[in-house]
Amino acid sequence: MKSQTIIALKFLLVMTILTGVIYPLFMTAVAQLSFHSKANGSMIMKGGKVIGSELIGQKFDTTIYFWSRPSAIGYNPIPSGASNYGPTSDTLKKQVMARRILFAKMNSLSDPLLTPKEMAFASGSGLDPHISPEAALMQVDRIALARHFDASRKEKVLEKIKEMTEAPQFLCLGERRINVLMLNLELDKI
Query: Rounded mean pLDDT of 87-109?
Result: 93
Would you say residue 174 has pLDDT above 90? no
Q: Which residue would you say has higher pLDDT here, 176 or 74?
A: 176
Q: CB–CB of 128/115 below 8 Å? A: no
pLDDT tens digits, 40-95: 777 888 888 888 888 888 888 899 999 999 988 888 888 777 778 888 989 999 99
Domain containing residue 81: 44-189
Instruction: Give the per-residue pLDDT at 173.
Output: 87
Looking at the structure, do residues 32 and 67 belong to the same domain, yes or no? no
Rounded-to-integer distance, Cα 187 and Cα 63, Å: 13
Q: Where are the alpha helices (DSSP H) in the chain?
A: 2-17, 23-34, 36-39, 90-106, 117-120, 133-146, 151-164, 180-189
Looking at the structure, do residues 90 and 166 belong to the same domain, yes or no? yes
Looking at the structure, do residues 184 and 98 belong to the same domain, yes or no? yes
Looking at the structure, do residues 105 and 159 belong to the same domain, yes or no? yes
Instruction: Give the per-residue pLDDT at 54.
Output: 83
Q: CB–CB of 63/146 below 8 Å? A: yes
Would you say residue 180 has pLDDT above 80? yes
Poorest-confidence range of 29-33, 40-44, 147-151, 161-165? 40-44
Residue 68 CA: distances (Å) to CA of 48, 62, 120, 170, 180: 24, 11, 11, 24, 6
Rounded-to-integer distance, Cα 62 and Cα 52, Å: 17
Looking at the structure, do residues 59 and 144 belong to the same domain, yes or no? yes
Looking at the structure, do residues 18 and 92 belong to the same domain, yes or no? no
Would you say residue 38 has pLDDT above 80? no
Instruction: Give the per-residue pLDDT at 130.
Output: 93
Would you say residue 170 has pLDDT above 80? yes
Instruction: Give the per-residue pLDDT at 76.
Output: 82
Looking at the structure, do residues 88 and 62 belong to the same domain, yes or no? yes
Confirm whether pTM is higher than 0.85.
no
Instruction: Give the per-residue pLDDT at 75.
Output: 84
Looking at the structure, do residues 22 and 49 belong to the same domain, yes or no? no
Looking at the structure, do residues 48 and 33 belong to the same domain, yes or no? no
Q: Collapsing DSSP states into helix, strand and coil, what is residue 24?
A: helix
Contacts of 6 (CB under 8 A, 6+ apart): none
Rounded-to-integer distance, Cα 55 and Cα 2, Å: 52
Instruction: Give the per-residue pLDDT at 120.
Output: 92
Looking at the structure, do residues 98 and 15 belong to the same domain, yes or no? no
The C-alpha angle with vertex 120 and arms to 159 and 187, in degrees rounded to 5, equals 25
Looking at the structure, do residues 8 and 53 belong to the same domain, yes or no? no
Q: Collapsing DSSP states into helix, strand and coil, what is residue 57?
A: coil
Count: domains in the chain: 2
DSSP secondary structure of 65-82: SPPPPP-TTTT-TTT---
Q: For residue 118, name the pLDDT band (cuts at 50, 70, 90).
A: very high
Instruction: Give the per-residue pLDDT at 36.
Output: 83
Query: Rounded mean pLDDT of 22-36?
Result: 91
Q: CB–CB of 66/187 below 8 Å? A: yes
